[in-house]
Amino acid sequence: MAGCANGADPAPAFANLQRVLGLDQLDSVLRDVLTRYAPTALATYAESMIDVNALCALNPDPPEPLSMLDFVKNLTYIGSPLTGINPITQYIFRWLQYHEFQVVCVCRAVVPDPGLNCVHATNVSIPSGSQQIVPLGTATIEEAVYNTWTVDSGGNMQLGVNLGAVFTSGQANAINWHTQVQGSDGVWVDMFRGDAYTPGGHTDYFPTIQQGLVRIPRIAPLRIRTDFGSTGVLSTMDTCFIPLPVAMRPQPPQPPLPDGPTITPPTCSTDDLCAIVLELGRQLTRVSSQVADIQATVGGTDQFTVLASQEINGEGQLELVVGTRAVSIELTTIGSGVFTSALGRPRGLMRAGSIRWGDGEGYSKRQFIDADDFTRLRPQGSLSISWQLINECAGTLRMLG
């Protein structure tokens, strides 16, 4: 069910803004478990920009808590090639998204239709004695009002009403009667006593119908049932159903998760251990690259920060830092042979070198460096970058995330 039953709008202080989702907002239990079991997913999750207006219009559902079984399945998924959004990363995003929704959005108030939701009875006579019945009429309850009411785990329904009355006689003593509603199961159930009605005014009242005996229907018949009360007369008697106070659905707490099984380390020779470590290193590098590819799907920002830099010349190769989304090469030394011989100013820059992307199995086609400030996005799956500069050139290679 959506965060706000009647939709949401940006709070005035946040309207038309872009906001960054930060990992420091994560639930402490969730953060601890991710640190233990999925450090790569936690460390490589890129901060995402959220448009406040779009987020409030989305009115997202609260995320379901993550169980240990979910973690086991997700960790297995991390170890395999990714064909879509990683479930752990997706859960992190949904948790942070709803947290931000609670901060920057406010639920829309329900404005009841004055022509609906009410029974306005006149000249109501309260008889003496017990179990006497006085019909009042039928209220048609709006869906927007009805949807704000809640039912707890015991089946008890809380609703809102606005009550008012003007007594002609019997105001002090003619109050030992009950307003009843006929539920969808056909049973008449007491909602409140006569003294809940405010003489000469109106008051909001939020009763709870106990024990799940009734579900108030959208078309609700009302009546009075006496209980050994005195006689009285009400010139007007207003019973109007109203919404509960608008509130955002809470972020469900992440429950404590049990420790995972302890795995006994394998016994192996030094050579076996080295081979295992090298293979794990290759796999983790590939996984880190794949998780970084998720960032664009989960939602990223057009602004880059420098993750690492390296002075380069001649030929060479570097492994990409985890989280690299692009690389830039700034030529700091350019010899005269790099420029064209054409007359005029400025002279055109010829090819000063080239780069290739490596994915652990092969290399891409060359991309030629033909500007003194050269930036390229990292192709999905690439793990390394190699370069070749002509002798008269040197520069700085920066990895951006």
CA distance linking residue 50 with residue 67, whole number of Å: 27
Per the model's pLDDT, the better-predicted residue between 247 and 146 turns out to be: 146
Place of tokens 């394998």: 266
Would the pLDDT of 199 be above 60?
yes
Q: Report H helices in 153-192.
A: none
Whether 62 contacts 101, CB under 8 Å: no
Indicate the average pLDDT of the chain: 78
Q: Which of 272-281, 297-306, 312-321 has the highest mean pLDDT?
A: 312-321
| pLDDT value at residue 117 | 95
The pLDDT of residue 266 = 54
Q: 3-state class of 375 per DSSP?
A: strand
- Around Cβ 20, how many Cβ atoms within 10 Å? 11
pLDDT at res. 356 = 92
Highest mean pLDDT among 131-140, 271-280, 300-309, 333-342: 131-140
Q: What angle do CA 329, 314, 373 make, to 5 degrees?
A: 15
pLDDT at 84 over 70: no
CA distance 32 to 66: 13
Helix axes 87-104, 68-78, angle to 10 degrees: 120
Report the run of H or E that residue 91 belongs to, with start and end.
Answer: helix 87-104
Q: Where are the alpha helices (DSSP H) in 119-205?
A: 143-146
Q: Cα-flanking dihedrals φ and ψ of residue 280, to 5°?
A: -60, -40
| β strands within 250-366, DSSP E | 306-313, 315-319, 326-334, 353-358
pLDDT at 259 over 60: no
Q: What domains can be seen in the chain, in order of their start residue?
A: 8-108 (no CATH), 118-242 (2.60.120), 306-400 (2.60.120)
Q: With the CA atoms of 320, 324, 326 and 331 taken in that order, what torsion angle do they form, in degrees rounded to the nearest 10?
A: -50
Residue in 301, 401, 293, 303 with CA at minimum distance from that of residue 49: 301
Query: Tell me: the pLDDT tens digits for 20-59?
Result: 776 667 777 667 766 665 666 555 554 567 899 999 999 9
Confidence class for position 256, pLDDT limits 50, 70, 90: low
Spatial distance between the Cα atoms of 259 and 79, rounded to a whole number of angstroms: 20
Question: What pLDDT score was predicted for residue 141?
Answer: 95
pLDDT of 302 > 60? The answer is no
**Are 390 and 313 in contact, with CB atoms under 8 Å apart?**
no
The rounded distance, in Å, linking the Cα atoms of 344 and 77 is 59
Give the mean pLDDT of 199-208.
Answer: 91
pLDDT recorded at residue 49: 77
Across 179-201, average pLDDT: 89
Half-sphere exposure for 272 (CA within 13 Å, toward CB)? 5
Tokens of 248: 């955002």
pLDDT at position 343 over 60: no
